[in-house]
Amino acid sequence: MASEPLVELRNVSLAYGEGRERMVALGDATLSIEKGEFVAVVGPSGCGKSTLMKLVTGLLPPSTGTVLVHGREVTAPIPGVGMAFQNSTLMPWRTTRDNIMLPFEVVAPHKHRLRRHRAEYEAKAEALLASVGLAGFGDKYPWQLSGGMQQRCNVCRALIHEPEILMLDEPFGALDAFTREELWGVMQKLWLERRFTAVLVTHDLREAVYLADTVYVMSRRPGRIVKRRTIDLPRPRTLDTTFEPGFVEIVHELRERIQMEHA
């Protein structure tokens, strides 16, 4: 572990607005993410989790502090990321399949190959849709899908181009418990295969512990990182794992820390 971390945040803060409107959303975050690490961020609503995501990928410039990726300071959106935003950003004028294929149209080198290898890319999209339980929905428009189905598409679009860094902002929020747990398995399998670096924002502590190597707990707004917990449970984790004492203990530990924030 001597190599430098892939993502590093040093005393990063961010304030929205100016003058009297000014509001600090994220106060002083310091953390580092190794290449191939799966990180989960939990914390109370409005504490700056989504903001943190946008800072890491360079969508927002920090008010103070520095964000480093590959050791270089981030000043503009960085390449090689896939983002699933909290609000669905599927385009209503595109079918589900065309939505998912958007990264292929924009990201190099795919955008140069897409025209000639269209069938191959479409097969990829179909396979990914099938893996999240949406086989046969490629020709439907997003508004013809349920909220949970849209979220699954949103996740598919974020990872179809196999980005180096995957940012997931409450990706399974609108799903029922069963589908959600099924998708944890899908996500873990994908991660074990491809070993991308992932940052997951969630309100579900079991989800965080199931998927992540490291869980960060944030304080109330302005968010600071108040706890870092490494999860060294063996992989692959299964649903049975979630009932084991070791797992339950970690969840309790995290819950207690978050409850302190609400006290």
Ligand X SMILES: Nc1ncnc2c1ncn2[C@@H]1O[C@H](COP(=O)(O)OP(=O)(O)OP(=O)(O)O)[C@@H](O)[C@H]1O
103 binds, among ligand X, Mg ion, another protein, none (CB under 5 to 8 A by kind): another protein
Residues 69 and 71: their CA atoms lie apart, in Å, by 5
- Contact status, residue 8 vs residue 67, Cβ threshold 8 Å: yes
Please report how many Cα atoms fall inside a 13 Å half-sphere around the Cα of residue 187, on the Cβ side.
25
Subset of residues 71 to 130 that bind Mg ion, contact rule: CB under 5 A: 86
- Backbone φ and ψ for 246, nearest 5 degrees, come out as -55, -45
Residues 260 and 88: their CA atoms lie apart, in Å, by 31
Of 13, 57, 96, 197, the one binding another protein (CB under 8 A) is 57
Closest CB to ligand X among residues 21, 240: 21
Which alpha helices (H) appear in the chain, and where do they start and end? 49-56, 96-100, 102-106, 110-113, 118-131, 147-159, 177-194, 205-211, 245-262
Of 83, 175, 190, 258, the one binding another protein (CB under 8 A) is 83
Of 32, 63, 89, 131, the one binding another protein (CB under 8 A) is 89
Closest CB to ligand X among residues 134, 158: 158
Task: Work out the angle between the directed axes of helices 147-159 and 177-194 (0-180°, nearest 10).
Answer: 10
Assess 50 for contact with Mg ion (CB under 5 A): yes
Q: Which residues bind ligand X (CB under 6 A)?
A: 16-17, 23, 25, 45-51, 86, 221
Assess 54 for contact with another protein (CB under 8 A): yes
> Which of the stretches 48-56, 75-83, 90-98, 184-192 binds Mg ion when contact is defined by CB under 5 A?
48-56
CB of 202 to ligand X, least distance (A): 9
